A and B are shown apart, each in its own frame.
Chain A
Amino acid sequence: MVNYNNNNFSKGTDFAVILLYVIMVAIGILCIFMVEYNPNLNWSNSFLTAKTNYSKQIYFAIFCAFTAIFILLMDSKVFTALSNVLYVLGILLMLATFVLGKDINGSKSWIPIAGGFNLQPAELCKIFTALILAKFISKPETDFSKLKSHLIAGAMIILPAILSVMQHELGLALVYSAFIFAMYREGLPPVILVALLSFAILVIATLLLDPTVLSIIISVIAGLIILNLIKKFKRNKNSILVIISIWAICFGTIKYIVPYMFNNVFECYQSTRIYSMMGKEYDCGQNVKSANKTTVNKKAARKPDDYNVKQSKIAIGSGGFWGRGFLKGTQTRGKYVPAQHTDFIFTSLGEAFGFVGTFTFLGLYLFFLFRLIRIAERQRSTFSRVYAYSVVGIFFFHIAVNISMCIGLFPVVGIPLPLISYGGSSLLTFTVLVFILLRLDADRQMVLR
């Protein structure tokens, strides 16, 4: 049966996903073309010269097509067998960037390879982490209802994330939180999700409200709960401890953790972006990192600017309902949106095709994600399912964060839009992610370990 599949890979392969994939990549090239379009150049020639980004993206896409075919021709057992090795390789590559790394846009996460192309190991590590997570959870000896397994899985995920942070790629590091989907599906207690959500809300609330006011509100709520349930406590003394410890954690978060995060963990510009999202100004003088930097560089802290988001919103908003038309967007033509061919590619679509375009586009993405979830659920082997959910998580996280950032719902982090944004590494990563899943899906009758 395995042989049969290898000889004829079309059997069992999900063509709906492949079709969606091709449409997405095509839309991506179109969007990059819109960004780069110059009426003074003969664009039909420039498509093949590899001098413009869209023609480069076409070459990337061709390369990815070959990779995809190659993956589909592979034996699906390879992925289970090599997952450990690949993970280690990925981590080593990430460590190697600290030595060989090339500085691109302020982040030292690229390794230069032949032909002027650069490789970003952190991107590839997403695949390897997905594989090793699947491998770990699918092992018969792993009982994923236990805390120990959770911690081990967590460690596997957090290691590349920490390395990414060290490379100043906060966005990429955040992506690793996407694995929470897969872990949740495999038995991570929902409490953790709720706790994380609560923590996020608390952080946002801290930023929005005055810390003192917020601590008073939290204390009052805790007090009221204790008063209400005072009879229960007589029977169960543990619950009062739980409530008090939750209150203590909240209080600590407000008073210490949030200021620490913004002043010590984040870079000045990151804190500034988050604050400006909330409509506030961040004083970079409090930031330890920027303080160090200014003493070294003698450069004054940058003024808080939300230029990117402002221009991005103008571009999308000016599209209106029907859009300004293909190649007619003035924001795109005038290059008002920075990094428009990579992280802000969504703006060119929004401006040219309006709400109709963005709605259709999001519909396509949603269909794509639900299709992947359907694939995940039809797997017999845990390995394939965990891997599938990892892919769903990664895609979803990228889409949600990227688009939120374009429309001003999330602070600006460097996260590309899957299959659309310009960039070989990113396109290749998502291609590999999708096609390994398709390869596994083709063998869904097998139980892989």
Chain B
Amino acid sequence: MSVYNQNRGGIIQIIIGIIFTILIVQLISLQIFSSKYKLAADNNAIYRKIIYPDRGIIYDRKKRAMLENTISYDLVVIPNEAKGVDTNMLCQILKIDKATYSKRIIEAIIKNTRVKASAFEPFLSAETYAQLNENLYRFPGFTLSERSIRSYPYNTAAHVLGYVAEVDVNFLQKHAAEGYEMGDYAGMTGLERFYEPILMGQRGVTRFLRDNKGKIQGAYEKGIYDTLAIAGRNIFTSMDVEVQQLAEKLLQHKIGSAVAINPKTGGIIAMASSPGYNPNLLTGNQRRKTIGRLLLDTARPIYNRAIKGQYPPGSTFKPMGALIALDEGLITPAYGYNCRGSYGACGDPRKCEHHNPGHAANLQLALAYSCNSYFLQVFRMAIDNPQYHNAKKGYLKWKEYMNAFGFGKKLGVDLPSENRANIPDTAQYNRDFGGAKYWNSCYMLTLGIGQDRMTATPLQLANAMAYLANSGFYYTPHFVDSIENEDEEDKLMLEKYRTKIEVTKIAKQYFDVIKEGMHDVTVIGTAAFIKVPGHDFCAKTGTAQNPHGKNHSLFVCFAPKENPTIAVAVVVENAGYGSTWAGPIAGLMMEKYLNDTLTNESKLKAENLSNVDLMPAAIKSWYVRNNKTEMLTPLEYNNDELADVWDMEMLSEIAPTKLALDTPKKIDTLPVTPPSKPVPSSKVNKETALDPLQKKKKVTKNKNGKL
């Protein structure tokens, strides 16, 4: 029998062979042809812990730290391990209710999964930290983690320094390749944003092996894939904390901006924008309370007017206009205009502040007295330059000069979102006046006195002063002089701030004439009462008309007259004469910078000036309305005008979601309901409210009518 069944041994071997082949085929498919399992294993087991280096410090020109790092604590939770937590006590310490507790746990799970740590309450106050630390054993799964946050010992330069904030989804999408993760912090505005890669340093990654319960088993592969955290590098700016503080103080209760540049390097000494805010309000747990209020404030305290505000330069433009005419050979310094208090060559006479004959007998005098007629005439000569045959070409040449002076273009300062302001294009005039043939210098006459559609940022104005101070060149204005351990890449980046920009080739003697004229402004002219003790300086006042209310007060200057080291531009919105408000501010800033201190007299002046309230009524009334609603009084101001002041683009850039809260535009966007429907229904409602019986009658009437 066994002989008979001999072949069955072979069959059994074949069966075994087949099954083993199936096993091996499946192993081939698992181990050789599927790469997903390796990935799945890594996802399971490798826990990447990111080590955050300290951010770099930003110093001023005297190596004073404008911001520092301090330690703050976060309460961090691993949801999976948070079992048996004394929630009552925790909620009591954090002053939250239980619903908030569960909500935050769920948020943490959504954000970082159950087994990873997420922040439960960031930036604990010292008191809360102490309480939590004492009772931490009651809260399994919760830990206190250290975090480095910014602090600003001088409470100053908020706009320039910018702030650091937690990255959001938008940010992650925009900077996908830079390795940010949910929960990271990054510079969002100002220098913090611009120099983010340098300040941030290099984050270290330590890989750990994690077991099935999320517990760390030890280093992965003995740490050969780990990278060390490299601290952010410090940056050294050309700013002067004290001048900055003074500028901010002087601009208190006003809307405006002040910029001071060192013409020798292009380094910005101070850049203030008012209203501002204390940068310490946007760090740590303060941020949550403050940011919304700042974003919604109608005076826009987080808006950096120095690089974004667009102001008509007014008379401060006059030296530039003269320079163009001189260079084109249209006038000589001796050129005079017989001004009798107005300029009538273009029909409708334009007013001049001065009537006495001879106040514009030559360029120097015309500058000193800021004669409108003189500069209108000079502008017309430039546009109607016979050399170019038509006004369009003349205008283009004029615009080329303006761009060379740094107007109407982004200067390239090392801050994000700089505005180019406006030097109008011929296309704009062509459109408005129906073609190139139909306009001439009379149509945009007031460009000659810095009005019309010409706008400039305070930074551009200060830069133009630096250009004049240097007699024909400037350096791109910037904050950062040097970076710690500067490497080739940094040098490349800073290269543009170290290159002299010398587009025009205007003869030095012309600059000398302009400088003399501007010096006369401070001796016999519109700014004669502004003094910088120990220094001669050159200046030009400006009083710019604008459609939003009172004239803007402007002042540009540079000092000392010989070998200038500071160029300043100050704008105070809706304040009046340039010499009254902007002038003294610029004067005090120069004094502070050049003398390192203020005289007692100047200190008193500064104190008085800082207390002057020049806020426009519209903004004041907004504060009244929004902070104390019950005290709302019918104030006379135009809602549309306010809307005009608002720069919607800027708001949407910062907080697109908050935009809906803006009052003025909201009404326009409301869907217009077709009027036909609601009217009859409201009628019916009214009728029912008044007399139900009457309505009934009506209905029956209708019925009858139909029948």
Contact = CB atoms under 8 A, between A and B. Distances in A.
Interface stretch (A181-189, A210-218, A230-238): A181-189
Interface string A316-333: 111111000000101101
Given A330-B42, A362-B24, A404-B23, A187 B16 contact: no
Contact of B209 (A333, A354, A369, A382): A333
Given A313-B37, A382-B2, A334 B24 contact: no
A320 B31 contact: yes
Contact of A330 (B32, B36, B46): B46
B12 A334 contact: no
Contact of B27 (A315, A382, A407): A407
Say which size band chain B's interface belongs to: 35 or more
A181 B13 CA distance: 10
A409 interface: yes
B1 A145 contact: yes
Contacts of B41: 314-315, 317-318, 330-331, 336, 351
Interface in A160-218: 181, 184-187
Given A334-B212, A396-B16, A317 B30 contact: yes
A389 B8 CA distance: 11
A313 B217 contact: no
Interface stretch (A127-135, A370-378, A431-439): A370-378
B673 interface: no
B31 A321 contact: yes
B2 A407 contact: no
A185 B9 CA distance: 7
Contacts of B36: 317
Contacts of B9: 185, 373, 376-377
Contact of B45 (A144, A334, A373): A334
A350 interface: yes
Contact of B13 (A40, A370, A409): A370
Contacts of A354: 31
Contacts of B209: 330, 333-334
Interface in B25-58: 26-28, 30-32, 34, 36-38, 40-42, 44-46
B31 A350 contact: yes
Contacts of A334: 44-45, 209-212, 217
Interface string B188-223: 000000000000000000000111100001101100
Contacts of B23: 362, 400, 403-404, 407, 409
Interface string A406-422: 01110000000000000
B19 interface: yes
Q: Which of A185, A314, A320 has the most CB of B within 10 A?
A: A314
B20 interface: yes
B663 interface: no
B5 interface: yes
Given A333-B45, A335-B211, A316 B16 contact: no
A108 interface: no
B492 interface: no
B218 A39 contact: yes
Contacts of B218: 39-40
A336 to B, nearest CB: 5
A331 B43 CA distance: 10
A448 interface: no
B37 A318 contact: yes
B672 interface: no
Contact of A355 (B8, B32, B212, B220): B32
B12 A330 contact: no
Contacts of B44: 311, 314, 330-331, 334, 336
B176 interface: no
B38 A318 contact: yes
Nearest to A328: B221
A108 B26 CA distance: 34
A445 B13 CA distance: 24
B71 to A, nearest CB: 31
Contacts of A58: none
Nearest to A381: B2
A359 interface: yes
Nearest to B23: A403
B661 interface: no
Nearest to B34: A317
Interface residues of A, number: 51
Nearest to A377: B9
Contacts of A315: 37, 41
A444 to B, nearest CB: 13
Nearest to B40: A314
A339 interface: no
A429 interface: no
A408 B34 CA distance: 14
Interface string A338-374: 0000000000001100110011001001100110010
A398 interface: no
B707 interface: no
A392 B40 contact: no
B22 interface: yes
B32 A392 contact: no
A385 interface: yes
A184 B45 contact: no
B42 to A, nearest CB: 7
Contact of B8 (A184, A319, A362): A184
Given A330-B44, A334-B210, A187 B1 contact: yes
Contact of B31 (A317, A362, A409): A317
Contacts of A370: 13, 16
Contacts of B8: 184-185
A187 B46 CA distance: 56
A92 to B, nearest CB: 32
Given A315-B41, A330-B45, A409 B26 contact: yes
Contacts of A373: 9, 12-13, 16
B44 to A, nearest CB: 5
Contacts of B42: 318, 330
A358 B31 contact: yes
Given A334-B212, A355-B27, A366 B40 contact: no
Contact of B40 (A184, A318, A335): A318
Contacts of A311: 44
B36 to A, nearest CB: 7
A358 B27 contact: yes
Contacts of A376: 9
Contacts of B32: 320-321, 355
B12 A185 contact: yes
A93 to B, nearest CB: 30
B30 A313 contact: yes
Contact of A407 (B12, B20, B26, B46): B26
Contact of B37 (A186, A314, A382): A314
Interface of A: 39-40, 144-145, 181, 184-187, 311, 313-321, 328, 330-331, 333-336, 350-351, 354-355, 358-359, 362, 365-366, 369-370, 373, 376-377, 382, 385, 389, 392, 396, 400, 403-404, 407-409
Given A313-B30, A315-B37, A365-B20, 19 more contacts: A40-B218, A184-B11, A187-B5, A314-B41, A315-B41, A317-B30, A317-B38, A318-B37, A318-B42, A330-B42, A334-B211, A350-B31, A370-B13, A370-B16, A373-B12, A373-B16, A377-B6, A400-B23, A409-B22
In the A-B complex, the 10 residue pairs with the closest CB atoms? A317-B37, A330-B45, A318-B41, A355-B31, A334-B45, A334-B211, A317-B30, A318-B38, A314-B40, A318-B37
Interface of B: 1-2, 4-6, 8-9, 11-13, 16-17, 19-20, 22-24, 26-28, 30-32, 34, 36-38, 40-42, 44-46, 209-212, 217-218, 220-221
29 contacts: A314-B41, A315-B37, A315-B41, A316-B27, A316-B31, A317-B34, A317-B40, A317-B41, A318-B37, A321-B31, A330-B45, A331-B45, A333-B45, A334-B44, A334-B45, A334-B209, A334-B210, A336-B41, A336-B44, A355-B27, A358-B31, A365-B20, A370-B16, A373-B9, A373-B12, A373-B13, A377-B6, A382-B2, A408-B26
